[in-house]
Amino acid sequence: MSAYRPLLRLLRHGTAAARVCRTVTTWSPVGAAFNAKVQRRLDLFQQNVGLFGVPELSSIEGFEVVQDRALQETEQLVEKACRCPPGVQTVEIFDKLSDSLCRVADMADFIKVAHPNPSYREAAERTCINIGTMVERLNTNVELCKSLKDLLDNKEIFAKLDPETRRVAELFMFDFEISGIHLDKKKRKEAVNLNVKLLDLSNQFLMSCHMPNRIEKRVLPEHIHQHFSKDGKYIQISGLHADAPDDLVREVAYKIFLYPNANVMHILEELLACRDKLARLVGYESYAHRALKGTMAKSPEAVMSFLQQITDKLSDRLRQDKDFEMMTEMKTKLNPRNSELMPWDHPYFSGVIRAERFNIEPSLYSPYFSLGACMEGLNGLFTQLYGVSLLAEQPSVGEVWSEDVRKLAVVHETEGLLGYIYCDFFYRPEKPPQDCHFTIRGGRQLDDGQYQLPMVVLMLNLPHPTQSAPTLLSPGMMENLFHEMGHAMHSMLGRTRYQHVTGTRCSTDFAEVPSILMEYFATDYRVISQFARHYQTGQPLPQSMVARLCESKKVCGAADTQLQVFYAILDQVYHGKPQNRSTTDIMIDMQKKYYGLPYVTNTAWQLRFSHLVGYGAKYYSYLMSRAVASMVWKQCFYKDPLNRETGERYRREMLAHGGGKEPMLMVEGMLQKRPSIEDFVNALVSDLDPDFETFIMDSEG
């Protein structure tokens, strides 16, 4: 019955939605919910249920309560695991142990970066540190490890376990091994200390990546002051301003934002040194070897082969397409006195060329991509592919951290409620600048036969609606929405037995496949035509505009891809064999070899490379996941992107398993073949091929 309550709530708020939108279009309930301003019911007698429905988190003090309860439950489960005879129950107890800690740590990990109240963020940060310390203690608990090792060593019992249980047991053992469980007591203690130090260094580096740099106003020409924020006699620069039309604004932002900071340089180099020391201590050749175990790529050597093959293919493409020459010509045309192409020019002039060649102006597209229309499109797509609907629910008092957060129930036509998605879509100063998703609670099978429903948060930075219009998305924003929703549905559609491998808790180079695949749906006219219509007139987005948008992405695509290869190779080199030179010297060398634009003196781009923390030695994953997604799209969905049978097979082969199945086996099951590195490279590069039908369509128009 609970699945019907959101519909009743929506009906009550229907008139408010209509008032705000002022449109001739009739929206579905989910579309209307996102095109309307939030109308919270004022109920003075409703109890505060706490963040995400956790009663204790109705106050800051509650973090310590839920933390202490999780730590107490952990002690009990450790004792139980150590007494348990080898069998499936061993793995179940380990997963309960993981779930108990993750439900607190994951929620705190989100709150510490997203909550508008600094006191909540600080309390969440303390909780993250305390839970992280406990995890490191558990990963070096010899007695706990022995209980799992007894199961893995008992070949007869282990062979009788189902494949997912065996894989989860092996993953837990891997966590022990990379923490140095096999070492003597002195070295184990050293491993724990290194892990604790790494946690602290990672947090310090992440915080520094987004900190603004400042310079005295008098140093900069007065006419560009307006482009930056001011702090007394200083100008603050908090980003690259890559889209600024003024060359000087981009140059100033690049040189000042990327100016080297000795303290941050030390933090990064200490972080890399600690990672290397820990990897070698626990028996790996390098941190990259440790990080890539269990991935699709398997080893740094395979990753470097993949990246080098892309580079070789792209070198021909760059000569053929003349990406950098085109950008130089455009810069010369717009600014004849300063025509040398520099790194701060690449994003801007590639965009200018796309817009000019294909008449791509975001303001022409955004009226067709109201947030409600896009959500309606996602709802329709999921219904057709999986039999799943998105239903807007009214959050309870205290359940969400900001008034503009929406809550979606994800409901399957036969399976019922699958989980919840919290949509934190609108810009707030304290939010991280990147669009991202967070797993708040993972799905798992409970002892009573019920299923623990997953909860995720999607975080975007969209503009707020105005008095006269709903939130209107640029094509890039629309794609980002589809991308992040791909992550969410990975969690919703998975039905793993264990939360340790639920949804996106899988190999990093596989985790991006479902989200990148959604980008292909977001640029296919057969999908877009189902929802993209003008918020005022109801007119559909013309097919020729969609075709031009898709083709425009291929302009300078080789240069864009080569830039990503450079980042990925830099990441590999940083995490490979230690080199007796600075991270800046390494970057200069890699930029010269793998990127077509020169290094700018007195800059240190690597100090803003926040992915070095979460994606250390794994930045290549974006490229490999894109290759897999491209192959899945072309082979399985391109012919009919709304085919229910294909959608069900995709869920069955790739989404349902989370990390409970070896990633390449999932890809092989979907493609009916095991792809090679060469297949991946060819898939990536072939995406840059022009579609001549677009040019025919434009000439006919």
**Alpha carbon distances (Å) from 22 to 178, 468, 670, 685:** 58, 8, 45, 45
Per the residue annotation, which of 136, 376, 399, 484 is the catalytic one?
A: 484
Q: How confident is the model at residue 514 (pLDDT cuts 50, 70, 90)?
A: very high
pLDDT in tens, 588-637: 999 999 998 999 999 999 999 999 999 999 999 999 999 999 999 999 99
Question: What is the amino acid identity at position 446?
Answer: L
- In degrees and rounded to multiples of 5, residue 442 shows phi and psi of -90, 155
- Specify whether 75 is catalytic: no
- Compute the 3-state secondary structure of the chain and give helix, strand, coil in percent, each to the nearest 5: 60, 10, 30
Instruction: Using alpha carbons, select from 151, 121, 184 the residue that is nearest to residue 428.
Output: 121
**Bridge partners for 445 per DSSP:** 451
Question: What is the amino acid identity at position 601?
Answer: T
Spatial contact of 511 and 625, defined as CB atoms under 8 Å apart = yes
pLDDT in tens, 327-337: 999 999 998 88
Least confident of 200-209, 287-296, 317-326, 488-497: 317-326
pLDDT in tens, 339-377: 899 999 999 999 999 988 888 888 999 999 999 999 999
Spatial contact of 390 and 30, defined as CB atoms under 8 Å apart = yes
Spatial contact of 116 and 430, defined as CB atoms under 8 Å apart = yes
pLDDT at residue 199, rounded to an integer: 86
- How far, in Å, CA of 322 to CA of 331, rounded? 14
**Alpha carbon distances (Å) from 590 to 566, 568, 595:** 7, 10, 8
pLDDT at residue 224, rounded to an integer: 95
Is pLDDT at 496 greater than 80 in this prediction?
yes
Task: Enter the pTM of the model.
Answer: 0.91
Residue 144, Cβ density class (10 Å: 0-12 exposed, 13-18 middle, ≥19 buried): buried
pLDDT at residue 154, rounded to an integer: 97
List, as one string, the DSSP characters of 633-696. Answer: IIIIISS-TT-HHHHHHHIIIIITTTTSS-HHHHHHHHHTS---HHHHHHHHHHTTS--HHHHH
Neighbour count for residue 19 (Cβ, 10 Å): 11
- Match 């690597």 to its residue by tokens: 606
3-state secondary structure of 361: coil
Spatial contact of 324 and 560, defined as CB atoms under 8 Å apart = no
3-state secondary structure of 97: helix
For all residues of the chain together, what is the average pLDDT?
91
3-state secondary structure of 59: coil
CA dihedral in degrees (400, 403, 404, 405; nearest 10)?
Answer: 10
Alpha helices, DSSP H, located in 425-512: 475-493, 508-511
pLDDT at residue 289, rounded to an integer: 96
Tell me the chain's radius of gyration from C-alpha atoms.
26
Q: How confident is the model at residue 453 (pLDDT cuts 50, 70, 90)?
A: very high
Q: What angle do CA 485, 361, 560 make, to 5 degrees?
A: 65
Strands 406-412 and 436-441: unpaired
Residue 121 CA to its chain's centroid (Å): 21
pLDDT in tens, 169-179: 999 999 999 88
Positive or negative, the Cα torsion across 250, 254, 257, 259? Answer: negative
- Match 């793998």 to its residue by tokens: 594
- Match 């000439």 to its residue by tokens: 699
3-state secondary structure of 21: helix
pLDDT at residue 17, rounded to an integer: 35
Spatial contact of 8 and 391, defined as CB atoms under 8 Å apart = no
pLDDT at residue 27, rounded to an integer: 72
